A and B are shown apart, each in its own frame.
Chain A
């Protein structure tokens, strides 16, 4: 599937292909990808809307400092996508505003 992303994989990238979903879309990653890298490689730039202004945000620093790439992973809110390796079958959602304070995946 051709994708519109400014990020290109190195031609020698050999790693195994993994499947995950972002906001319900089925996407592919390579084993060893950070989740943020896999999302960017899939051409997705916006991974959340901020709790304060509602502005769109996406992965930025890629080293765990800026907290812009927050996503919900398998029901757990506010994970830093750049600090997590993609696992096969991961279900990822954009963070829309602030997290709730319920327990785990039942969270809204």
Chain B
């Protein structure tokens, strides 16, 4: 039981980026995290810092993702300095590899449409097989081509989480582990966190991933998030063969080859299935035949946190001022924006970008589908 200025609920990548950013803005922060029994996307994701293809339905999401990718080197440098860890951030550009001409043409058309909606300011290239092979000699004969996004990259997401945590604790932040918050009660001044007597916080930021759906209504917010499962295969370390990340295969800074990720609507089931694993492995070998004999050393499933349109939700409660909500589907990519731009806004600053309202949950109330 105690008192804090800001209570951040959830200690995943979103919560820790927000907590670190609030602290950087001079706030006193306590993070409450449910622990190992929770579904935690931050411990099972693919590690891409990814821009291309995002925002086809909402150009502001493309702008926001690009801003985060551009801010990533600053975040990485600060976290590496504070934690002594190496995050393995690499942003050489990345590929969305297509195995058929039809798929490549469809993706090229969708990227061109997005570029038009962004007044031409959206860099990408469409590469056929031969040009792609000059950049990625390991592609197989079945590859039709790829979209190249010069702003894409990847990072070690586990070191990212560890570095955020270490930096936050190192600067005097506090984390309550094993602290599943079931109740949040608005008080005359501030909030009670947890069952009475609970903690008292001036402000509360919901960053609880899938847990937000249940917590948000307690403080007048709406977080209609649902799980979507992704399975990931981890292969043995190999000599470097893949100098650029792509959506399906990446080689980490330590040489590990990762193959991902399925997309399955199976509710709160984070298991693995031979069918999904076999399909992912086959696709990876079609793209990169040198992987034919590589050994898979482990596999897991993890749950994405999906809003109805896949875009982030950032919202300050009108009913209960001082409460806010931060949730998104790409918490690795957006970590830099969350720490360096969104947190200062939650700390009381002005909106970091003129289009922040695009990410309000109001869009779900207005859409006929909701």
Residues of A within 8 A of B (CB): 51-52, 67, 78, 97-104
CA of A98 to CA of B236, assembled, Å: 8
- B291 with A101: CB separation less than 8 A: yes
- B254 with A52: CB separation less than 8 A: yes
Kindly report which residue of chain A lies nearest to residue B294, judged by CB atoms.
Answer: A101
Contact of B237 among A99, A102, A103, A104 (CB under 8 A): A99
From residue 232 to 282 of chain B, which have CB atoms closer than 8 A to chain A?
Answer: 236-239, 241, 254-255
- A98 with B255: CB separation less than 8 A: yes
B367 within 8 A of A: no
Q: How far is the CB of A31 from chain B (nearest CB, A)?
A: 27
B297 within 8 A of A: yes
Question: How many Cβ-Cβ contacts under 8 Å join chain A to chain B?
Answer: 30
Chain B contacts for A67, CB-based, 8 A: 297
Cross-chain pairs A/B with CB under 8 angstroms, 25 sampled: A51-B237, A51-B254, A51-B255, A52-B237, A52-B254, A52-B255, A67-B297, A78-B236, A97-B239, A98-B237, A98-B238, A98-B255, A99-B236, A99-B237, A99-B238, A99-B239, A100-B238, A101-B238, A101-B239, A101-B241, A101-B290, A101-B291, A101-B294, A103-B293, A104-B293
B295 within 8 A of A: yes
Residues of B within 8 A of A (CB): 138, 236-239, 241, 254-255, 290-291, 293-295, 297
CA of A102 to CA of B238, assembled, Å: 10
CA of A104 to CA of B294, assembled, Å: 11
Contact of A98 among B138, B239, B291, B297 (CB under 8 A): B239
CA of A102 to CA of B239, assembled, Å: 10
Q: How far is the CB of B295 from chain A (nearest CB, A)?
A: 6
Q: How far is the CB of B286 from chain A (nearest CB, A)?
A: 16
Chain B contacts for A100, CB-based, 8 A: 238-239
Kindly report which residue of chain B lies nearest to residue A76, judged by CB atoms.
Answer: B293
CA of A101 to CA of B138, assembled, Å: 10
Chain A contacts for B293, CB-based, 8 A: 103-104
Chain A contacts for B239, CB-based, 8 A: 97-101
CA of A39 to CA of B241, assembled, Å: 32
Q: How far is the CB of B296 from chain A (nearest CB, A)?
A: 12
Chain B contacts for A103, CB-based, 8 A: 293
CA of A101 to CA of B289, assembled, Å: 10
CA of A104 to CA of B293, assembled, Å: 8
CA of A20 to CA of B293, assembled, Å: 25
Chain A contacts for B290, CB-based, 8 A: 101-102
